[in-house]
Amino acid sequence: MNAPHRLPGVAPDELESFRIYSHVEVVTLLRSLVRARSRCSVQFGEGAQDFLATTLLDVNPEFEELVFDCGSDPVANGRLQRSATLEFFTTLDQIRIQFTTHAAEPTIHERLPALRVRLPESVVRLQRREYFRVATPVVKPLLAAVPDPKDPRKTLQLRLLDLSVGGFAMFLPEGVAPPALGSELEACSLELPEAGRVIFNASVRSVAIHSRPPGTRIGCAFLRLPGQAHKSIQRQILAMERERQARA
């Protein structure tokens, strides 16, 4: 049986930029996969040429274990348990997830046969909108200070709709003139609760009508974002994702 494709078009060294090492973040992501009953492909065997379709059943951080369903083929289950390394591939909200664990052993989950492995040390979360993007809070919104398209000497305080380390979307209320597609917004700033103020330039990549509430959705990409600003935004994104997972 042929193995599934491994994150096509992504070089191994590029995966590192999408890899999560935080134990808390790894457990949170795995629990999301369990809640979603996400189907996984597990590659194993010499050259990782065998694979088994399964579902993640439980995460037990106190025992450092991940429990997953047995496959439908007993022979394949036996080969999997004799393999030293297992590679899991799945998706969550259209984001591709990959992680590696070591040998599996049989267990019982809710009175049915299952398999368990030690929790992975890291997880790759690859979102090909180039970067992982998270919706911003509605109750305490993040605000971007950007120049007024009609008068660059003035500044508009605009609510962010989403945020990634590659860019963001912001909301222009009805009656506010949108910036031109492809234009550059200079000397903008973000006030991040987790990381303070970030100063940046941005390029306008999309302009679309926003129906509720009425206004305009502006998609922007960061330009020449300094390394420290990049880290600050990533810290804010992880904090918002933790809050979202806690509410789920």
pLDDT at 107: 95
Q: How far apart are CA 163 and CA 154, in angstroms?
A: 24
Predicted local distance difference test score (pLDDT) of residue 59: 96
Distance CA 93, CA 170 (A): 22
Dist. CA 10–CA 125, nearest whole Å: 12
Say how far apart CA 40 and CA 89 lie, in whole Å: 6
Q: What is the pTM of this model?
A: 0.51
DSSP E strands: which ranges in 93-240?
Answer: 95-102, 105-109, 112-118, 123-126, 134-135, 143-148, 151-163, 167-173, 184-192, 196-210, 215-223
| Backbone region of residue 175 per phi and psi (left: phi > 0; alpha: psi in -120 to 50; beta: other values) | left
pLDDT at site 178? 86
Count of helix runs (H) and strand runs (E) in the chain? 4, 16
The pLDDT of residue 120 is 96
Strands of the sheet containing 39-44, edge to edge, are 19-20, 123-126, 95-102, 85-92, 39-44, 50-60, 65-69, 112-118, 105-109
Both tokens assigned to 90: 């799945």
Nearest-CA neighbor of 17 among 130, 135, 133?
130
Task: List the chain pLDDT tens, one digit each, 248 residues.
Answer: 333 444 444 455 556 767 888 898 899 999 999 998 888 888 887 755 677 889 999 999 999 999 999 988 889 899 999 999 999 988 887 678 899 999 899 999 999 999 999 999 999 887 654 566 788 888 889 999 999 888 878 999 999 999 988 899 999 988 888 888 888 999 999 999 887 899 999 998 888 877 667 888 898 989 888 878 888 888 888 888 888 777 76
Q: Looking at residue 74, what DSSP letter applies?
A: H
Which domains does the chain carry?
12-126 (2.30.110.10), 134-247 (2.40.10.220)
Rounded CA gap, 172 and 161, in Å? 10
Distance CA 43, CA 80 (A): 9
Query: What Cα–Cα distance (Å) separates residue 161 from each residue in 19, 57, 78, 155?
Result: 25, 33, 48, 18
DSSP single-letter state for residue 119: P
